[in-house]
Amino acid sequence: MIPFVVGTREDVVGFALAAVGGVICSTVDDVEHAFGNLREDQIVILSAAAAALVADRITEWEKSGRGPLFVVLPAR
């Protein structure tokens, strides 16, 4: 599985140090745009803030059993 970070600048930069790609997102549109490029074989690491913006969409994917694996980082 391929990891990918969607979240705050700090989260994306921190994971970049471990060679994990990502996208800095601060709005629902940013997160939705990042989700447009996801594949089913990815692990999506979300900041708590980004996950809160699209909680309904994540729940839909999880219920369907399709899509990437989502991991939400704890809030600071």
Work out the percent of the chain whose per-residue pLDDT is above 90.
67
SS3 26: coil
CA distances from 23 to 2, 26, 42, 63, 65 (A): 14, 10, 14, 25, 24
- pLDDT of 40 strictly over 90: no
Q: Is the distance from CB of 34 to CB of 6 less than 8 angstroms?
A: yes
**What pTM value is reported for the model?**
0.87
> What are the tens digits of pLDDT across the range 3-37?
999 999 999 999 999 999 999 999 999 999 998 88
Q: Which domains does the chain have, with CATH numbers?
A: 2-72 (3.40.50)
